[in-house]
Structure 1
Amino acid sequence: MSEQLYNDRILEAAKALVPDDRLANPQASVQVTSPLCGSRIRVDLTLDEVGRVKAYGQEVRACALGQSAAAIFKRHAVGRTRDELVQVRDAMEAMLKQGAPPPEGEWAELELLTPARAHKSRHASILLPFKATVKAYDEAAAKTGGG
């Protein structure tokens, strides 16, 4: 672990978070809580007619790592399909838990969370937006008959 856990890049990303950015009329709203630290997120989601995320909102109560992950996630969520959401969730989990490379392309910014690999107690907080969004997607798709 060569890089400090709460480094300037992570703190800057956390500052970009709007902690209460909910949707007025979501198709789905899902709350996920980390049992280890109590961090939580509520994700509001609306899908378009072809199954892409049309609107994304969130309410975040988490440490700087969870806030950073949520802020980055919010910037890239709209326009994503379920497969893309699952792919980035799985890539983040592999990055944190198995030392896999960070996600690439539009999600490359998530690399800044690699110092958390060595801190297993922080993984659940970082993964909150990824897991909650897939759950919200599934709930919205079930309501609209899509997915």
Structure 2
Amino acid sequence: MIDELYSARILSLAANLPHSGRLAAPQGTAERVAKLCGSKAIVDVVLDAEGRIADFAQDVKACALGQAAAGVVGESVIGATSQEIADARDAMLAMLKSGGEGPQGRFEGLRALKLVADYPARHASTMVAIEATLDAVRQASQRDTADTRTSLAGAA
């Protein structure tokens, strides 16, 4: 079973991490750490005028499963909305904890991690990248809302 968990697809995703690094001027930054194993993801985002991810970078230090999840997120995240990311996160949690099918749409690649459901100690490391991405997008959205209020108040 462990050989199935570390399939060629998982290892390929883990080895090819899209958007690796940090952004020079992010609108939102978030960090998530899996307490059990220490897997960590730091995510930077820039949103466009419609609140979609326009630029993204991730610095991920995780096991192969955490890296694989980050690989899927990195492949799919440009153009995503906060709601799409939240839906993918929720579907991922349901897949890991209660037999759900996993994310659909742009984040469907996370279904490659379905076998992780049988290894509860690996759940948190598998979630760090998408959780950090959602946190960063929410931070960027809040900052954008606050900046808009400030500029409107200054114009009055």
Q: Which has the larger radius of gyration?
A: 2
Which segments of 5 or more consecutive residues in structure 1 lack a partner in the other structure?
none
Letter in 2 for 1:117: A
Q: Which has the higher helix share?
A: 2
Q: Taking structure 1 as reference, are residues 142 and 54 closer, same or farther at Cα in structure 2, changes over 3 Å only?
A: same
Seq. identity, %: 39
- Greater mean alpha carbon deviation, residues 55-64 or residues 76-85: 76-85
For 1:4 and 1:69, locate their aligned partners in 2 and report how far apart those are by CA, in whole Å: 16
Which segments of 5 or more consecutive residues in structure 2 lack a partner in the other structure?
147-156
Letter in 1 for 2:89: R
Residue 16 of structure 2 is matched in structure 1 by 16
Residue 113 of structure 1 is matched in structure 2 by 113
Residue 134 of structure 2 is matched in structure 1 by 134
Check if 1:102 corresponds to 2:102. yes
For 2:134 and 2:99, locate their aligned partners in 1 and report how far apart those are by CA, in whole Å: 22
Alignment of structure 1 residues 68-107 onto 2, 5 Å: 68-107=68-107
For 1:19 and 1:87, locate their aligned partners in 2 and report how far apart those are by CA, in whole Å: 22
For the Cα contact (< 8 Å) 1:28–1:140, is it kept in 2? Answer: yes
For the Cα contact (< 8 Å) 1:3–1:115, is it kept in 2? Answer: no
CA-to-partner distance for each residue in 1:75-116, whole Å, 9 max, x for gaps? 111111111110001011101111100222332222211111
- CA RMSD after TM alignment: 1.7
When normalised by structure 2's length, the TM-score is: 0.87
Aligned length: 146
Letter in 1 for 2:46: T
Deviation at 1:19, TM superposition (A): 8.1
CA-to-partner distance for each residue in 1:29-57, whole Å, 9 max, x for gaps? 11110011100000001111111111110
When normalised by structure 1's length, the TM-score is: 0.92
Alignment of structure 1 residues 18-97 onto 2, 5 Å: 20-97=20-97
For the Cα contact (< 8 Å) 1:19–1:60, is it kept in 2? Answer: no
For the Cα contact (< 8 Å) 2:18–2:74, is it kept in 1? Answer: no
For the Cα contact (< 8 Å) 1:19–1:61, is it kept in 2? Answer: no
